[in-house]
């Protein structure tokens, strides 16, 4: 929001200017359409969509994750304490910047080795650094108003909160995470007391004077003193209504002078240039209060994104996409927001917020600042950025004459917050028309899709029918082809069988012929063998006969030879005997006897000789 003081003149119509300057080809619906699309990108979180973290009879904590489309996500928590309740000590993991919406109470936190307290009132703004421990107690007032705190968690400078470790952790969980022996040695207490403390772990939010509250308070005080290492009575004293040594005062936006104010409303921004406690933080705060039928003039932030929470009433929010790239995923959006809803607007995105004629529209939020200070650029009004531009260049940009630009800019005398009677209603009417148009378009698209699907279904059915017919024809062709192949196969088999039979017959014939030939050859061989045998037998018989004949002839010849030899021997013997006898006769008688005794020697000798020859 722009820091601006000035005097305003007559109201200026939003639609007369904004429709010319920021004309967009498509306006988007709100309730169903914008909520749907903005919620998709995390730029809108409705109250009933917050995530409940803790809930007791003494209070609750809910959370929301918001993104501005370029950075984030940003983690917000909504802490609600019933009167006279305590949000027990936690250890911060990130910087915590918060705003007190309603109620009052006391914030106590650790600052190095000391404990500090600050009284909280409606409208207060405060920051706690990461690494500090804190707790909050709500006051018990006659109005019995709940203490509601809206907080955002970030790291230092341009870093953002890391959700993987959580925004904070319970001091009780941190301390009791150690073993019993370690805690007993550290606190110098009996072991059974540690076990009691483990068994009696309280919820995150309790009543300050509940039964056995003193024991719980003392235990929490001892935990915090152990954590601090040097503090003495911080938590215990604050719970019992005693003041600590160091009291501080929070900055209150409801007591500060607005940056801009007129009959249409007021606005205020707070950043680290204005508030020392926001130093080293990348978070600033703003609050806008629009009276009935008013509008925060169309503007954009060059160095900050805004995360806003609706505090009261309801209104319309219009956000224009800052890119004309077709590939860009951002889109123009408008949505209706009510108390408790959260909406984020990215840097460079032109926006406008409008209240209805019958209700004011109050919202506050956090600005995610860069290293330089943010100066919102207004597109309409007395402080419009268009008024300082060269009119001729501006006319060329809008493709109109210089006179048209003069007519456009001359009536602009108001700035920042403008009177815009029925603007929100008109936006709502357009929204309804857009919703109806989009519904019709969706129905038309659905009808077209159904028609296309029906046509596609019919086409698929026809295609399926054609495929089935083609499949049937192909099947018939395949059957005919199969039948033809079977017939050909049968004919081929018959031919093969016939050929096989012929071959077998021919083979049998050849075998028979071969057998006959073999038989003939065998018969011829037998005949030859018989002839040969007969010839051999005849030849053998002939040989035997010849041999026999020869042997017979040889025998006869031998016998003849023997006979001749015997005859010769006989004649020789006879001659010898005759000679011997003659000699004997000459020698006397005895000699004749010897001759007679030996007279058989000649025949015997012939017989022996014949026997030897035969052998």
- 312's CB contacts (< 8 A; 6+ apart) are 339, 360, 361, 362
Encoded tokens for 535: 């010839």
Fold of 57-231+248-254: Jelly Rolls (2.60.120)
User: Which tens digit of pLDDT belongs to each residue from 87-141?
Assistant: 999 999 888 999 999 999 999 988 777 788 899 999 999 999 888 899 999 998 7
The packing angle between helices 423-587 and 590-597, to 10°, is 160
No. of helices (H) and no. of strands (E), the chain = 12, 26
| More confident call, 514 vs 372 | 514
pLDDT at 328: 61
List, in sequence order, every beta strand (DSSP E) within 372-416: 377-378
Neighbours of 465 (CB within 10 A): 12
pLDDT grade for 529, boundaries at 50, 70 and 90: confident
Domain boundaries of the chain, sorted by first residue? 57-231+248-254
Which is higher by pLDDT, 299 or 552?
Answer: 299
Provide the 8-state DSSP code for 230: S
Q: Label residue 34 by pLDDT band (50, 70, 90).
A: very low
CA nearest to 100, candidates 82, 128, 79: 79
Please give the structure tokens belonging to residue 14: 């939003």
pLDDT tens digits, 145-155 = 999 999 998 86
* Mean pLDDT, the chain, whole residue set: 78
Which range (106-110, 325-329, 414-418, 429-433) has the least confidence?
Answer: 325-329
Q: Could you tell me where the beta strands, DSSP code E, fall in 398-473?
A: 417-419
Q: Are strands 114-120 and 247-249 parallel, antiparallel or unpaired?
A: parallel
Q: Which two tokens stand for residue 23?
A: 């004309």
Give residue-wise pLDDT tens across range 254-289: 998 998 999 999 999 988 777 888 877 788 899 999
Report the distance separating Cα 244 and Cα 231, nearest Å: 11
Do 83 and 141 touch, CB atoms closer than 8 A? yes
What whole-number distance in Å separates Cα of residue 298 and Cα of residue 303?
A: 16
Count of Cβ atoms closer than 10 Å to residue 596 Cβ: 12
Q: What's the CA gap between 96 and 352, in Å, rounded?
A: 28
The 251-252 sheet, strands edge to edge? 51-56, 59-66, 74-81, 147-154, 95-102, 124-128, 251-252
Judged against a pLDDT cut of 80, whether residue 614 lies above it is answered with: no
- Which of 320-324, 350-354, 412-416, 533-537 reaches the highest mean pLDDT? 350-354
Mean pLDDT (whole number) for 348-361 = 93
Average pLDDT (323-338) is: 74
E strand or H helix at 35, and its extent? helix 35-40
The sign of the torsion formed by the CA atoms of 507, 511, 516, 517 equals positive
- Opening angle at CA 488, ends 483 and 493, nearest 5: 120
Q: Is the per-residue pLDDT at 439 higher than 90?
A: no
Model confidence, pTM: 0.65
* Cα torsion 16, 17, 21, 26: sign: negative
Closest-CA residue to 236 (of 248, 247, 223, 249): 223
pLDDT digits (tens, 9 = 90+) for 225-260: 555 554 434 333 444 444 444 556 788 999 989 989
Residues sharing a CB contact under 8 Å with residue 558, sequence separation 6 or more, in sequence order: 613, 614
Q: What is the 8-class DSSP label of residue 47?
A: G
């Amino acid at each position: 929001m722009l820091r601006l003081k000035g005097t305003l003149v007559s109201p200026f119509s939003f639609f007369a200017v904004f429709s010319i300057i920021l004309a967009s080809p498509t306006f988007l619906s709100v309730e169903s359409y914008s909520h749907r699309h903005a919620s998709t990108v995390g730029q809108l979180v409705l109250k009933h969509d917050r995530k409940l973290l803790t809930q007791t009879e003494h209070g609750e904590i809910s959370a929301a994750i918001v993104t501005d489309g370029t950075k984030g996500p940003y983690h917000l928590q909504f802490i609600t304490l019933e009167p006279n309740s305590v949000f027990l000590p936690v250890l911060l993991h990130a910087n915590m910047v918060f705003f007190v919406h309603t109620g009052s109470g006391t914030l106590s936190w650790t600052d190095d080795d000391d404990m500090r307290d600050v009284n909280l009132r409606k409208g207060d703004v405060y920051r706690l650094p990461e690494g500090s421990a804190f707790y909050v107690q709500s006051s018990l007032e006659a109005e019995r108003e709940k203490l509601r705190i809206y907080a955002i968690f970030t790291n230092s400078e341009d870093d953002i909160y890391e959700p993987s470790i959580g925004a904070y952790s319970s001091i009780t969980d941190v301390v009791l995470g150690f073993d019993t022996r370690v805690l007993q040695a550290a606190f110098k207490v009996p072991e059974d007391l540690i076990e009691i403390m483990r068994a009696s772990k309280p919820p995150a939010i309790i009543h300050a004077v509940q039964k056995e509250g003193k024991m719980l308070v003392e235990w929490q005080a001892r935990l915090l003193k152990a954590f601090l290492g040097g503090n003495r009575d911080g938590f215990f004293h604050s719970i019992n209504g005693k003041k600590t040594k160091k009291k501080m005062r929070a900055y209150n936006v409801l007591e500060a002078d607005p940056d801009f104010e007129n009959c249409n409303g007021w606005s205020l921004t707070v950043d680290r240039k204005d508030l020392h406690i926001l130093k080293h933080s990348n978070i600033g705060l703003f609050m806008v209060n629009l009276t009935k039928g008013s509008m925060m003039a169309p503007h954009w932030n060059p160095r900050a994104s805004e995360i806003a929470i609706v505090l009261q009433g309801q209104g319309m929010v219009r956000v224009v996409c800052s890119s004309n790239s077709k590939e860009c995923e951002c889109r123009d959006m408008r949505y209706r927001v009510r108390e408790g809803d959260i909406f984020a607007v990215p840097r460079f995105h032109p926006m406008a917020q409008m209240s209805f004629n019958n209700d004011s529209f109050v919202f506050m939020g956090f600005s995610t600042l860069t290293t330089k200070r943010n100066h919102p650029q207004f597109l309409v009004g007395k402080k419009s950025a268009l008024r300082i531009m060269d009119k001729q260049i501006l006319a060329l940009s809008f493709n109109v004459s210089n006179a048209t630009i003069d007519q456009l800019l001359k009536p602009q005398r108001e700035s920042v917050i403008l009177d815009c009677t029925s603007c929100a209603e008109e936006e709502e009417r357009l929204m309804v028309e857009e919703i109806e148009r989009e519904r019709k378009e969706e129905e038309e698209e659905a009808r077209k899709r159904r028609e296309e699907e029906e046509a596609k279904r019919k086409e698929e059915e026809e295609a399926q029918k054609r495929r089935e017919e083609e499949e049937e024809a192909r099947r018939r062709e395949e059957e005919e082809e199969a039948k033809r192949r079977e017939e050909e196969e049968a004919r081929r088999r018959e031919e093969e069988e016939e050929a096989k039979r012929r071959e077998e017959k021919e083979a049998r014939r050849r075998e028979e012929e071969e057998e006959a030939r073999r038989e003939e050859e065998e018969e011829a061989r037998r005949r030859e063998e018989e002839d040969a045998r007969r010839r051999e037998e005849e030849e053998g018989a002939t040989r035997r006969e010849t041999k026999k004949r020869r042997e017979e002839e040889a025998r006869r010849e031998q016998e003849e030879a023997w006979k001749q030899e015997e005859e010769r021997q006989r004649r020789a013997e006879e001659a010898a005997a005759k000679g011997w006898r003659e000699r004997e006769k000459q020698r006397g008688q005895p000699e004749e006897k010897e001759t007679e005794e030996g007279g058989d020697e000649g025949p015997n000798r012939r017989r022996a000789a014949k026997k030897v020859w035969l052998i």
